[in-house]
Structures are given as structure tokens and as C-alpha cells.
A and B are shown apart, each in its own frame.
Chain A
Amino acid sequence: AAGVIQSPRHLIKEKRETATLKCYPIPRHDTVYWYQQGPGQDPQFLISFYEKMQSDKGSIPDRFSAQQFSDYHSELNMSSLELGDSALYFCASYRGGTPLADETQYFGPGTRLLVL
């Protein structure tokens, strides 16, 4: 079965540079969630989109922005990168309108970002 695709899988940037992470949800999934996982920490929710509209917002820095496109893929844009942004970034997808009994999120493999 098709899974969530994230690209790139690894990314190295310098401080103050920008980065764009991409997430391609499972086909027919219309909801995307972004999570950040720092070293030794649990994943933390950043932001989510449903039908191309922002649906929820967590602890996402103002330097970060995201959007969901007409084909439901999503991009997380990160500017003025800081050393503390080094982390694993996961996206997860979900199919809106799924009966509650079947609802779950499926996570991608993540993008490992290293800021030097």
C-alpha cells in the first residue's frame, strides 16, 4: 500500500539559510499534519491542513510557514534557520470524513534536518 512520502530525507543547512520540506500524503488523504522531533524528545505538533486550509496550529515558530496545495501535498518552509531547528520533521496524513471507528494518522519516514 502507498505510504506517506517525505522529501528530502536528509538536509544540511547553514544558520540563517532557508529550507523547504515536502510531504506527499497517502492517495485520497486530504489532511496533513507536521511534527517536529528534537534529539531525545517526543514529536511535537506544528501545524495541520485540511482541504488546503490551515486547520490547527501548534508550537510553530513565526519563521516557519506551511501550505497545502491542490494535489494535497504540503510544504513546510523554514527561514532564518537556527541551530535549534535541527530535528526530525514528520508529516502525517489522514482522510477526512473517515468514520470515527476507522480514523488514524499515518506518518511518513521523516526529514532529518541538520543546521550547522
Chain B
Amino acid sequence: DAKTTQPNSMESNEEEPVHLPCNHSTISGTDYIHWYRQLPSQGPEYVIHGLTSNVNNRMASLAIAEDRKSSTLILHRATLRDAAVYYCILKTSYDKVIFGPGTSLSVIP
């Protein structure tokens, strides 16, 4: 399974943008880049995913490097409710999700 590398933790001030990086140098051509997040005591929540082009949705934006070896999840204005563990995951089609350590995001009021 392709692996990803993320910072263990990050901090952000409330209402400021947050850029969460992810390295995936061994990504294959069929891997989609997915981001999930998990708030304390809740189930993982889908955030966004993409293949090659940058993606935007109501929750976040995903910027994918041209060589696809890295990506960045962008939260445009962090709120206290965004404090969670963010997982960057590579997967294809119906494959299971393999969770790595993720990035624990703290949001400072």
C-alpha cells in the first residue's frame, strides 16, 4: 500500500487559513488522494479527494502537486470546530481506508 507522510501536529489561529501538507512520493497512477478528518469521539469524516487537478468543496480545497508526489489540504478559515486529526490517504476505487498517524490540528481562539 502506498504510504503518506504528514506532520504529527499543527496549530492555527482561529479564522486564519491552514495548510496541511502530505507527502506521497510512491503514489501510483491509479491512486486517488483522499482526506478524512476525525473529531474527538466521532467517526472519521470525509473531507475531500482528488486525482490530479486541484479540487474545491464547501469544506476545503485540495492542492495537488504537478508530479502528484505531494498535496496540501487548505482550510480557508479555521474554526474551533476544525480541531481534529486529519488523515491523508491514498486509495483506489472500493479499497479499504488505511489510516496513518495523521496530523492533529489544534485551533487557538
Identify the A interface with B (CB < 8 A). 4, 31, 33, 35, 42-45, 48, 50, 55-56, 58, 88, 90, 92, 94, 96, 100-101, 103-110
Which chain A residue lies CB-closest to B85? A42
Hey, what's the 0/1 contact readout for B51-86 against A, CB within 8 Å counting as 1?
100000000000000000000000000000000000
A101 / chain B contacts, CB cutoff of 8 Å: 51
Q: Which of B94, B99, B101 has the most CB of A within 10 A?
A: B94
Look across to chain B and name the residue whose beta carbon is closest to the beta carbon of A112: B41
Known A-B contacts: A42-B100, A90-B43, A92-B43. Give 15 more (CB < 8 A): A33-B97, A43-B44, A45-B96, A45-B98, A50-B94, A100-B32, A100-B93, A101-B51, A103-B93, A104-B49, A105-B46, A105-B97, A107-B44, A108-B43, A109-B42
- Complex: A55 Cα to B93 Cα, angstroms: 13
In the complex, what distance in Å separates the CA atom of A4 from the CA atom of B43?
A: 10
Whether A33 lies near B43 (C-beta < 8 A) is no
Residues in A with CB closer than 8 Å to B16 are: none
Chain B positions within 8 Å of A42 at CB level: 87, 99-102
Interface status of B15 (Cβ within 8 A of chain A): no
